[in-house]
Amino acid sequence: MITYTVPLEKIDSILPQHRKFLQDGYDNKILLFSGPKNPRSGGVVVARAVSIDVIKDFFNHDPYFINNCATYDFIEFNPVKHQDFLDPWLEGM
């Protein structure tokens, strides 16, 4: 969970950099999906890695983090039940 800590005007000015950062996560098969909350107070990202520390390190490079525009809440869980089409992504850890 990402929570914005600055006005949306500042978020919007960094948004292209943030999306490029996220694309790196998709290209490296770390991220499954992401998008803004409704209302737009932050965002939600589903990611996977061998440890939560890897995910935290990844998000330390987010332009929102670097520019002190957001806070992050990391929720670790074990996806015991899921759609079968996710098997290859989940097994890629």
- Segment 3-57, tens digit of pLDDT: 999 999 999 999 999 999 999 999 999 999 999 999 999 999 999 999 999 999 9
Query: Strand, helix or coil at 34?
Result: strand
Task: Tell me phi and psi for residue 61, to 5 degrees.
Answer: -100, 5
pLDDT at 54: 94
pLDDT at 92: 72
Is pTM, for the whole model, over 0.85?
yes
If we measure between CA atoms, which residue out of 32, 42, 34, 37 comes closest to residue 8?
42
- The domains of the chain are located at 2-91
CA–CA dist 91, 87 (Å, integer)? 6
Q: Which CATH class is domain 2-91?
A: alpha beta
pLDDT at 90: 83
Q: Is 75 exposed, middle or buried (0-12, 13-18, 19+ CB in 10 A)?
A: exposed
